């Protein structure tokens, strides 16, 4: 670990753990490289706030459905600037939701935002709508994606 890095130790729930592994699978398939939670978070830091894409009630429902505190220990080694950004996102979300949230909650909401963006891009591809880039930062107009039993509309 360098001086510019810090380790965040979080005790997360099985639900949040499964959400994180699903996001890593999606991100690895998207980039065609094995990804880490640290790299996924670093890539997501510069994007618009999740509150711009989801109503506070949607975020509250997500946090109710996916408990964040549990007995699975994860250690994230991230840069100090990423830690500062994560703290800023936590504060923005807390302010937007009107209640203080934890760092694990922040992680959960960021992962939720990512997976929803991935699913949205996939649906847009399947129905043939062309979009240059969506909130996930990926191109949604690729003609190389398989149709998966979708009949194109004419």
Pairwise CA distance, residues 50 & 106, whole Å? 10
Whether 90 and 108 have beta carbons less than 8 Å apart is answered as no
How many angstroms from the chain centroid is the CA of residue 138? 13
- Token pair of 149, please? 């039993």
Task: Tell me the pLDDT of the chain (154 aa) as tens digits.
Answer: 567 899 999 999 999 999 999 999 999 999 999 999 999 998 888 666 777 788 899 999 999 999 999 999 999 999 998 899 899 999 999 999 999 999 999 999 999 999 998 988 888 888 888 655 444 444 444 444 444 445 445 4
Residue from 138, 85, 145 nearest 114 by CA: 138
Residue from 41, 50, 36, 49 nearest 83 by CA: 41
């Amino acid at each position: 670990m360098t001086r510019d890095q810090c380790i965040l130790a979080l005790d997360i729930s099985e639900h949040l753990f499964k959400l994180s592994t699903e996001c890593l699978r999606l991100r690895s398939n998207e980039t065609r490289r094995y990804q880490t939670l640290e790299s996924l978070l670093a890539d997501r830091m510069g994007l618009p706030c999740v509150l711009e894409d989801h109503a506070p009630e949607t975020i509250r429902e997500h946090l109710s459905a996916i408990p964040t505190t549990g007995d699975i220990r994860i250690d994230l080694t991230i840069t100090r600037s990423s830690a500062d950004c994560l703290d800023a996102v936590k504060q923005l979300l807390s302010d937007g939701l009107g209640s203080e949230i934890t760092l694990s909650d922040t992680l959960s909401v960021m992962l939720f935002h990512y997976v929803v963006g991935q699913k949205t891009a996939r649906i847009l591809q399947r129905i043939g709508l062309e979009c240059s880039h969506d909130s996930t930062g990926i191109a949604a107009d690729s003609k190389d994606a398989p149709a998966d039993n979708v009949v194109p509309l004419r």
